[in-house]
Amino acid sequence: MSDLARFMTAMVTPYDASNEVDYKKARVLANHLVRNGNDGLVLAGTTGEAPLLSDEEKERLWTEVKDEVGPERTIVAGSGTVDTHHSIELAKRAERARADALLVVTPYYLKPSQEGIYQHVRAIAESTSLPIIVYNIPGRTGVNISIETMLRVAELPNVVGDKEANGDMEYSAKLIEQAPGFRIWSGNDSDNFLLWCLGAYGAVSVTGHITGPLQRKMMAHVDAGEIAEAAAIHRSLVPVTNACFMNGNPSTIRYALRKL
């Protein structure tokens, strides 16, 4: 994997009737997603309900899906936790699973200081050779990574980007301007169009489970400078995006997948 995917879906984790991870269904779903607009997948993230998975389940999920989709598709392992040492252990498991990158969320619940966030990411980065995407989602973690801290994090050699879900367009614009080469993936489907117009690299999507081809078409229009055409697709996706989050995430997207 020479470069990381631009459009990735944060894949749900399938379960069987006994509430065990269904790895066969995970393979089937991963295949469906890469055939429908996704050049990468994020596994065991927020939508994948990472806190419900054991370390062994995460490693097997990463391994099986990587085996299924092959080397040409990016697999990002949701390896960040509230515990720095645990996050480092999961990074090692992700390496064994041949993941292409790590998604490292801000430590949640404890509301660390900005220096604490930086040191958390730094320690993980120094423990692995894998590229790291920082995940800024203050609505779930309770703390926003400041622009100053994000710029410090961006200087760490293998921290390559930010999955940005704080909804602040000015923040993202400043980050794009002040950290050339540091990639931003939109972390809110409702923000994809605006962030791409600002120069963001890609998106980690929830609605990509069902809207992948349209999202890729919208991205292609933005890349070509065809903003009116991209905006029209964005407007058409607004009710779909709203519906996919009407009862939280991932319960609503799970329901939508059952209806396919």
Averaged over successive runs of 10 residues, the pLDDT of the chain (260 residues) comes to 88 98 99 97 98 98 98 98 98 99 97 98 99 98 98 98 98 98 98 99 98 98 99 98 94 92
Pick the catalytic residue from 163, 201, 255, 259.
Answer: 163
- Residue-level pLDDT at 213: 98
State pLDDT tens for residues 90-112.
999 999 999 999 999 999 999 99
Strands 183-186 vs 202-205: parallel, antiparallel or unpaired:
parallel
Structure tokens that stand for 139 in this block: 């609505």
Whose tokens are 């009737």? That residue is 17
* Residues forming a β-bridge with 42: 10, 76
d(CA 197, CA 68): 33
- Residue-level pLDDT at 260: 81
- Taking each helix axis from N to C end, the angle separating 169-178 and 147-154, rounded to the nearest 10 degrees, works out to 30
> Which residues are CB-contacts of 127 (< 8 A; sequence separation ≥ 6)?
88, 91, 92
Q: Give the rounded distance of the alpha carbon of 159 from its chain centre.
A: 14
E strand or H helix at 78: strand 74-78
Q: What is the CA radius of gyration of the chain?
A: 17
Q: Comparing C-alpha atoms, which of 253, 250, 257 is closest to residue 53? A: 250
Q: Give the single-character DSSP code of 106.
A: P
Q: Give the single-character DSSP code of 107.
A: P
Active site includes 109?
Answer: no
d(CA 223, CA 113): 37
Q: Specify the amino acid at residue 234.
A: H
- Residue-level pLDDT at 34: 98
Active site includes 163?
Answer: yes
* Helical spans, DSSP H, in the chain: 23-34, 55-69, 84-96, 114-126, 138-141, 147-154, 169-178, 192-198, 208-223, 227-244, 251-258
Pick the catalytic residue from 23, 58, 66, 135.
Answer: 135
- Look up the CATH architecture of domain 7-258: Alpha-Beta Barrel (3.20)
State pLDDT tens for residues 34-66.
999 999 999 999 999 999 999 999 999 999 999
- Residue-level pLDDT at 1: 40
d(CA 171, CA 181): 16
Terminal Cα distance for the chain, rounded? 31
